[in-house]
């Protein structure tokens, strides 16, 4: 309450808590009985802030608000101190009031500021006097008395509070009392009091829980709008554990570039330990070496022996609320930062000694342990042999448990430990398989470039006399990994070298794998005919040796190369590859086949079927906990893009969401880049995101395609044609480098979009400017036509964009006054564009094309047909929330659509729907989304209404049919 410094940030989150608090106090309710709230929460969680907000609302509702604070005075607080303060404020607000009360209740003098007379008045008289003062103050308008931090209150104040709470301080007065739960240790006198108060009628106990991570993230951005790096933000969110004060401190430290706790914060945290006996402090030090949490058997083995002394030390720490028991045999520091502070406070020798002790205990087999735990202690204790063995095991454990990023880290730790003896000191036959393993783990975690760098470095430092088989394995790893990144040239040389080795040195399985990679690399080098032959050889060998994953790989390559006679045969082959690879447990092969199967369907304009394939792929990758693995990410990306095309934009945003996930930076950028399409389509102006994402263009072509497509419309729509052109130029340049040439398929789309911006600009320009635009248009058209001609696959989407390029060019020419363009010619061109996008299943581009067809029809005097097109376009634009298209329609005089019709779900409703699909109850959903059960039921009924579903089950069925729900990792929400 009345913080010393005004809050520097807006209130983040806490909407539900504020509503609950105001409701319980009776603010906004004219005929309230006296009420009281006990607001309980840890230090720094935001009690004062919430009180400040509630006080402001109460004042706005006409209440008088006064506050008093208890102070930490080490046990000899002045009696009634917070009330002395509160009455002082009352006197200032209502002059004369206290004098009047004092006449009837002389005992009031005992607590009045400046008058605190000592005297013989009984406690009862003082209590009555204070109650009378509050009652009288509440006569004219409702009164809120805030008493803060009563964990520090003296006995008299506590008794007074008990008195006021049990009689309720008059019909129109409310009492808001705050206290710290983390200070309420077992023997704290307030503990019993608070429990009793909470049972009184009219008294509500409101526990204030930590802020949810999304709100902490928002708070960080509020505090530091200049954006700290993503990993720093995530680190802060994790360490702060929902505590607003810690968040502020950690942000301040990060701003100063500090990673460790600031000295101030550490001191503050260590204060909790001051009142503990030495034995408990030693115990806590030992425990901090294990981290936040430790099991009883392990702690006892390390810092024991077990016995009364040990128990007493633990008990003291638990009683003081420094430790909390977890499960049935463990302890945790109450807050992770406390564990950090204690650990940081250890002396270097002490630290190593404790780590060594942990290694001894964990190696003895006496207690349960994970390899990762042992590895960590062994490294900190500089016990290299143990650390190497344990890190290897930890890597394998992490891979098995679906933690590829951790696995990669463990393997890299091993490599580092092995290298400690100097370059070349570790045996190559031990190092190479480890490097390959580390690289695979990195790829599975979505860290493709890291994976590639690992094997490339190793290849470069391989001694000449190395076992040829090891060399072949490494060559395979380099070539296979290079194929996964856009900016790596296909490593044909590497595969050819490996395959040239003696057959005896390259056994069958490796040979088959090499051939499959060679086929892909050859295809990537555009030598399709040669690639087919190699892929067939690979498939043959894989079949003979019974290697289903390799077979799936080769088959997928054959399908992509169009070597099957019919579309059906291609599709069948890919479907079989997906299931073969899945059965063989090879996620990479499975995801690659899935991606290609989806693409084949997408390119045939079979969007719904493609969506089903992509979604199934996403679900699979999630199930094995590798959502960011190579190709798994692409499949997720496509599941978003196919929804964008289908006009399911809210669902697309859900599919592309990265917030609250552990996506590595590059996958994050790819998903965000695709989401830009929806944002710009809706008229949002993410001007700051585009440059940030642009830094990734040189690594990934598809990212550049999505960003530039969105960027052309973003800047073009904002009247900045020059920037739109720069975006286009940059994208063409980067993609040409990555994909080997300027004639790539998306060039046609770029052309259609930029020409569209030119034409729209021409409508607003003078003759000279129109001439310029016409001049700039010609090379765009030419480049698009050339790219279309060169494209290896002419799916319906490419043909649609080609038609669009022609139509936009004619529109521009006509607007520029070119008499050579016939009205009917323009109508025909736009009819072709509409038909093209309809065939390709692209809802938004169909609607955009329709709008321009309508304009052409009107100009040709075909008004009725024009109106028909406008109605169709308008329906789509309003369902999508496509503001720029709606504006274009409005310019054509198309009235706003009638209310009703298809209603889109809000992002929140989609979230609720997603959880419904997982079979969650309203109560679960309320906990997961940090909203009240009542709010959940409102969302649920909205969802049912919008989907026209009779019940939850039907809603889920409809949602699944419409692709509104995507699988999301259960641990990433």
Ligand X SMILES: Nc1ncnc2c1ncn2[C@@H]1O[C@H](COP(=O)(O)OP(=O)(O)O)[C@@H](O)[C@H]1O
Window 540 to 569, contacts with ligand X (CB under 6 A) = none
Q: Report the residue number, 34 or 44, with the smaller CB distance to ligand X.
A: 44
Nearest one of 617, 620, 624, 659 to 638, comparing CA atoms: 617
- Min dist CB 49 to ligand X, Å, is 3
- Min dist CB 593 to ligand X, Å, is 48
**How far is C-alpha 967 from the geometric centre of its chain's CA atoms?**
15
CA geometry: angle 348, 247, 973, nearest 5 deg: 105
- By a kind-dependent CB cut-off of 5 to 8 A, residue 392 interacts, out of ligand X, Mg ion, none, with none
- Min dist CB 18 to ligand X, Å, is 9
Binding-site ranges for Mg ion (CB under 5 A): 48
Q: Report the residue number, 216 or 477, with the smaller CB distance to ligand X.
A: 216
- By a kind-dependent CB cut-off of 5 to 8 A, residue 46 interacts, out of ligand X, Mg ion, none, with ligand X
- Quickly tell me which residue has 């190559």 as its tokens: 428
Helix (H, G, I), strand (E, B) or coil at 741: coil
The rounded distance, in Å, linking the Cα atoms of 426 and 320 is 50
- Min dist CB 130 to Mg ion, Å, is 23
Q: Name the one range near ligand X by CB under 6 A: 36-44, 621-629, 751-759, 904-912.
A: 36-44
Among 34, 41, 79, 756, binds ligand X (CB under 6 A): 41
Q: Name the one range near ligand X by CB under 6 A: 10-18, 503-511, 633-641, 760-768.
A: 10-18
Long-range contacts of 97-105 (CB under 8 A, 24+ apart): 97/133, 97/136, 97/137, 98/133, 100/136, 101/129, 101/132, 101/133, 101/136, 102/129, 104/132, 105/129, 105/132, 105/133
- By a kind-dependent CB cut-off of 5 to 8 A, residue 11 interacts, out of Mg ion, ligand X, none, with ligand X
- Min dist CB 149 to ligand X, Å, is 8
**How many binding residues for ligand X (CB under 6 A)?**
18
- By a kind-dependent CB cut-off of 5 to 8 A, residue 706 interacts, out of ligand X, Mg ion, none, with none
Q: Report the residue number, 48 or 926, with the smaller CB distance to Mg ion.
A: 48
Q: Report the residue number, 3 or 62, with the smaller CB distance to ligand X.
A: 3
Window 788 to 817, contacts with ligand X (CB under 6 A) = none
Q: Name the one range near ligand X by CB under 6 A: 9-17, 164-172, 526-534, 653-661.
A: 9-17
- By a kind-dependent CB cut-off of 5 to 8 A, residue 781 interacts, out of ligand X, Mg ion, none, with none
Q: Name the one range near ligand X by CB under 6 A: 40-48, 63-71, 613-621, 693-701.
A: 40-48
Among 24, 35, 49, 339, binds ligand X (CB under 6 A): 49
Output the six-digit token pair for 790. 């060169």
Output the six-digit token pair for 372. 């990762």
Q: Name the one range near ligand X by CB under 6 A: 8-16, 28-36, 134-142, 197-205.
A: 8-16
- By a kind-dependent CB cut-off of 5 to 8 A, residue 14 interacts, out of Mg ion, ligand X, none, with ligand X
Q: Is 725 in the site for ligand X (CB under 6 A)?
A: no
Among 11, 61, 781, 860, binds ligand X (CB under 6 A): 11
The rounded distance, in Å, linking the Cα atoms of 779 and 782 is 5
The b/e string for 351-373 (b: 16+ C-beta within 10 A; e otherwise) is beebbbbbbebbbeeebebebbb
- By a kind-dependent CB cut-off of 5 to 8 A, residue 556 interacts, out of ligand X, Mg ion, none, with none
Q: Is 9 in the site for ligand X (CB under 6 A)?
A: yes
Q: Report the residue number, 322 or 390, with the smaller CB distance to ligand X.
A: 322
Q: Is 13 in the site for ligand X (CB under 6 A)?
A: yes
Contact criterion met (CB below 8 Å) for 647 and 876: yes
- Min dist CB 12 to ligand X, Å, is 4
The rounded distance, in Å, linking the Cα atoms of 9 and 900 is 39
Q: Report the residue number, 13 or 68, with the smaller CB distance to ligand X.
A: 13
Output the six-digit token pair for 638. 């496509």
Q: Report the residue number, 184 or 501, with the smaller CB distance to ligand X.
A: 184
Q: Is 48 in the site for ligand X (CB under 6 A)?
A: yes
Query: Taking CB positions, which residue lies at the least distance from Mg ion?
Result: 48
- By a kind-dependent CB cut-off of 5 to 8 A, residue 9 interacts, out of ligand X, Mg ion, none, with ligand X
- By a kind-dependent CB cut-off of 5 to 8 A, residue 45 interacts, out of ligand X, Mg ion, none, with ligand X
- Min dist CB 23 to ligand X, Å, is 18
Q: Report the residue number, 69 or 437, with the smaller CB distance to ligand X.
A: 69
- Min dist CB 47 to Mg ion, Å, is 5
Query: Taking CB positions, which residue lies at the least distance from ligand X?
Result: 46
Among 15, 20, 32, 43, binds ligand X (CB under 6 A): 43
Q: Report the residue number, 181 or 922, with the smaller CB distance to Mg ion.
A: 181
Among 22, 37, 38, 46, binds ligand X (CB under 6 A): 46
**Residues belonging to the chain:** 973
The rounded distance, in Å, linking the Cα atoms of 612 and 313 is 59
- Quickly tell me which residue has 């590859």 as its tokens: 577
- By a kind-dependent CB cut-off of 5 to 8 A, residue 43 interacts, out of Mg ion, ligand X, none, with ligand X
The rounded distance, in Å, linking the Cα atoms of 534 and 134 is 91
Q: Is 14 in the site for ligand X (CB under 6 A)?
A: yes
In 46-180, alpha helices (H): 47-60, 81-93, 97-104, 123-137, 155-167
DSSP 267-308: HHHHGGGTTS-HHHHHHHHHHHHH-SEEEHHHHHHHH---SH
Window 244 to 263, contacts with ligand X (CB under 6 A) = 244-245, 248
Output the six-digit token pair for 312. 């007493």
Output the six-digit token pair for 458. 């190793």
- Quickly tell me which residue has 């290849």 as its tokens: 459
- By a kind-dependent CB cut-off of 5 to 8 A, residue 911 interacts, out of ligand X, Mg ion, none, with none
- Min dist CB 338 to ligand X, Å, is 15
- Min dist CB 929 to ligand X, Å, is 17
Q: Is 45 in the site for ligand X (CB under 6 A)?
A: yes
User: Secondary structure of 663-701 in the HEC alphabet?
Assistant: CCHHHHHHHHHHHHHHHHHCCCCCCCHHHHHHCCCCCCH
Q: Report the residue number, 208 or 708, with the smaller CB distance to Mg ion.
A: 208
Q: Is 44 in the site for ligand X (CB under 6 A)?
A: yes
DSSP 878-922: HHHT-HHHHHHHHHTTPPPPPS-SS-PPPHHHHHHHHHHHTT--H
Q: Is 82 in the site for ligand X (CB under 6 A)?
A: no
The rounded distance, in Å, linking the Cα atoms of 237 and 149 is 26
- Min dist CB 175 to ligand X, Å, is 17
Cis preceding-peptide flag for 927 (omega within 30 of 0): no
User: Secondary structure of 94-131 in the HEC alphabet?
Assistant: CCCHHHHHHHHCHHHHHCCCCCCCCCCCCHHHHHHHHH
Q: Is 176 in the site for ligand X (CB under 6 A)?
A: no
- Residue 180 gets which letter from DSSP? E
Distances (CA, A) of 557 to 174, 290, 550, 614: 74, 49, 11, 18
Contact criterion met (CB below 8 Å) for 571 and 556: no
The rounded distance, in Å, linking the Cα atoms of 28 and 662 is 42
- Min dist CB 2 to ligand X, Å, is 11
Contact criterion met (CB below 8 Å) for 847 and 877: yes
- By a kind-dependent CB cut-off of 5 to 8 A, residue 245 interacts, out of ligand X, Mg ion, none, with ligand X
Half-sphere exposure of 368 (CA within 13 A, CB side): 6
Q: Is 217 in the site for ligand X (CB under 6 A)?
A: no
- Min dist CB 201 to ligand X, Å, is 27
Q: Name the one range near ligand X by CB under 6 A: 37-45, 101-109, 605-613, 627-635.
A: 37-45
Please, which residues have CB within 8 angstroms of residue 771's CB and are 6 or more apart in sequence?
816
Residues engaged in binding ligand X (CB under 6 A): 7, 9, 11-14, 41, 43-49, 219, 244-245, 248
């Amino acid at each position: 309450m009345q913080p010393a410094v005004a809050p520097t940030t807006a209130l983040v989150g806490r909407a539900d808590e504020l509503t609950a608090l105001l409701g319980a106090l009776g603010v906004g309710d004219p005929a309230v009985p006296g009420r009281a709230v006990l607001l309980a929460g840890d230090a720094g969680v935001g009690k004062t802030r919430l009180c400040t907000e509630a006080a402001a609302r109460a004042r706005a509702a006409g209440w008088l608000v006064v506050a008093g604070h208890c102070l930490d005075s080490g046990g000899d607080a002045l009696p009634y101190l917070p009330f002395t303060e509160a009455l002082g404020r009352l006197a200032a607000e209502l002059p004369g009031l206290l004098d009047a009360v004092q006449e009837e209740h002389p005992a009031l003098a005992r607590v009045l500021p400046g008058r605190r007379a000592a005297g013989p008045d009984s406690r009862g008289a003082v209590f009555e006097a204070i109650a009378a003062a509050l009652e009288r103050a509440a006569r004219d308008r409702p009164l809120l008395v805030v008493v803060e931090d009563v964990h520090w209150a003296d006995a008299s104040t506590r008794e007074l509070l008990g008195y006021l709470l049990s009689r309720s301080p008059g019909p129109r007065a409310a009492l808001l009392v705050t206290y710290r739960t983390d200070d309420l240790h077992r023997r704290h006198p307030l503990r019993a009091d608070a429990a009793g108060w909470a049972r009184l009628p009219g008294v509500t106990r409101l526990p204030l829980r930590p802020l949810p991570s999304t709100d902490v993230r928002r708070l960080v951005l509020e505090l530091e709008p200049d954006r700290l790096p993503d990993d720093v933000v995530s680190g802060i969110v994790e360490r702060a554990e929902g505590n607003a004060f810690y968040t502020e401190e950690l942000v301040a430290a990060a701003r100063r570039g500090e990673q460790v706790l600031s000295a101030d914060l550490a001191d503050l945290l260590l204060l909790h330990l001051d009142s503990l006996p030495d034995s408990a402090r030693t115990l806590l030090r030992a425990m901090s070496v294990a981290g936040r949490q430790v099991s009883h058997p392990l702690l006892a083995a390390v810092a024991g022996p077990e016995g009364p002394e040990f128990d007493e030390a633990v008990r003291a720490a638990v009683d003081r609320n420094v430790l909390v028991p977890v499960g049935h045999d463990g302890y945790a520091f109450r807050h992770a930062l406390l564990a950090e502070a204690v650990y940081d406070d250890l002396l270097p020798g002490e630290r190593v000694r404790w780590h060594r002790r942990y290694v001894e205990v964990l190696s003895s087999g006496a207690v349960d342990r994970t390899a990762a735990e042992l590895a960590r202690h062994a490294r900190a204790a500089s016990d290299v042999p143990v650390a190497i063995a344990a890190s290897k095991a930890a890597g394998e454990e992490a891979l098995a448990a679906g933690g590829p990023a951790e696995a990669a880290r463990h393997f890299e730790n091993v490599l580092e430990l092995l290298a400690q003896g100097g370059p070349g000191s570790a045996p190559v036959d031990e190092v190479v398989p480890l490097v390959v393993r580390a690289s695979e783990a990195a790829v599975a975690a979505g860290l493709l470039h890291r994976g590639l760098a690992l094997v490339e470095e190793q290849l470069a430092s391989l001694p000449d006399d190395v076992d040829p088989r090891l060399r072949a394995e490494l060559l395979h790893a380099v070539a296979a990994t290079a194929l996964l990144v856009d900016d790596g040239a296909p490593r044909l040389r590497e595969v050819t070298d490996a395959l040239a080795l003696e057959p005896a040195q390259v056994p069958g399985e490796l040979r088959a794998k090499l051939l499959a990679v060679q086929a892909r690399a050859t295809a990537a080098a555009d030598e399709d005919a040669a690639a087919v032959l190699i892929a067939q050889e690979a498939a043959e060998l894989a079949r003979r040796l019974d290697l289903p994953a390799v077979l799936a790989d080769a088959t997928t390559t054959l399908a992509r190369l169009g070597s099957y006679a019919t579309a059906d045969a291609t599709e069948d082959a890919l479907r079989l590859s997906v299931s073969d690879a899945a059965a063989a447990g090879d996620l990479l092969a499975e995801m690659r086949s899935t991606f290609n199967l989806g693409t084949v369907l997408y390119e045939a304009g079979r969007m719904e079927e493609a969506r089903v394939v992509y979604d199934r792929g996403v679900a699979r990758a999630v199930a094995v906990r590798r959502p960011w693995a190579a190709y798994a990410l692409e499949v997720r990306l496509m599941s978003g893009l196919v929804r964008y095309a289908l006009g399911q934009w809210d669902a697309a945003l859900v599919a592309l969401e990265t917030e609250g996930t552990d996506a590595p930076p590059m996958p994050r950028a790819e998903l965000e880049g695709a989401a830009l399409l929806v944002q710009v389509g809706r008229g949002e102006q993410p001007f700051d995101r585009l440059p940030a994402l642009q830094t990734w263009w040189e690594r990934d072509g598809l990212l550049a395609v999505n960003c530039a497509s969105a960027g052309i419309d973003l800047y073009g729509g904002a009247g900045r044609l020059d920037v739109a052109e720069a975006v286009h130029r940059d994208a063409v340049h980067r993609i040409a480098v990555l994909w080997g040439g300027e004639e790539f398929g998306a060039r046609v789309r770029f052309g259609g979009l930029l020409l569209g911006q030119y034409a729209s600009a021409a409508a607003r320009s003078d003759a000279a400017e129109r001439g310029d635009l016409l001049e700039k248009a010609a090379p765009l058209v030419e480049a698009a036509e050339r790219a279309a001609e060169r494209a290896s696959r002419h799916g319906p989407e490419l043909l649609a964009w080609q038609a669009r390029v022609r139509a936009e060019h004619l529109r521009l020419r006509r607007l520029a006054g070119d008499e050579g363009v016939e009205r009917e010619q323009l109508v025909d061109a736009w009819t072709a564009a509409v038909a093209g996008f309809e065939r390709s299943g692209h809802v938004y581009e169909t609607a955009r094309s329709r709008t321009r067809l309508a304009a052409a029809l009107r100009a040709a005097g075909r008004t009725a047909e024009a109106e028909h097109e406008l109605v169709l376009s308008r329906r789509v634009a309003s369902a999508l929330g496509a503001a720029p298209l709606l504006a274009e329609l409005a310019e054509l005089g198309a009235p706003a659509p009638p209310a009703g019709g298809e209603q889109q779900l809000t992002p929140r409703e989609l979230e609720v729907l997603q959880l419904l699909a997982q079979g969650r109850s309203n109560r679960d959903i309320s906990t997961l989304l940090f909203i009240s059960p009542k709010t959940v039921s409102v969302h649920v009924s909205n969802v049912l209404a919008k989907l026209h579903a009779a019940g939850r089950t039907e809603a889920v069925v409809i949602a699944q049919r419409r692709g509104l729900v995507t699988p999301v990792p259960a641990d990433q929400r």
